[in-house]
Amino acid sequence: MTPGSQTHLRVARPSADLERSRRFWVDGVGAEVLWSEPDPGPGEHALLMLGWPGAAWHLELVHDPEQVAANPPGPEDVLVLYLGELIDPAYLARMVAAGGTEVAARNPYWDRWGVTVRDPDGYRLVLSTRSWD
């Protein structure tokens, strides 16, 4: 068997503060909490799974401040949401109010075709005005 278009993708990242990240991704971006484990057993990490029900991907944030500090995200640590329309200024303002920071993209392509927002852990989210298909 090989991966196909219906294969589910999990993107995992460390997070210094899951509540701060939840505010950004849920209150700002509009994702839903798919699963949360705030108080894991010994030797495990708290985690937060975010996304949209039925999507073929989800974002898993793992509370690991040491990992974030040891390996800070760079300007190419980017997720892109292809929205296929102009970015509503109120939507962008909502993300900023929820802890995001609008930043210039490292690659000017993304500034031409969208807006880049840095999340509370320093990772970048591009809201693209282009469509994927």
Domain boundaries of the chain, sorted by first residue = 9-128
* 19 φ/ψ angles, rounded to the nearest 5 degrees: -70, -40
Q: What are the tens digits of pLDDT across the range 81-121?
A: 999 999 999 999 999 999 999 999 999 999 999 999 999 99
Instruction: Confirm or reject CATH 3.20.20.70 for domain 9-128, answering yes or no.
Output: no
Q: 39 versus 54: which is more confidently predicted?
A: 54
User: pTM for the complete prediction?
Assistant: 0.91
Burial tier of 48 (Cβ tally within 10 Å: 0-12, 13-18, 19+) = buried
Amino acid at 61: L
Q: How far apart are the C-alpha atoms of 31 and 61, rounded to whole Å?
A: 13
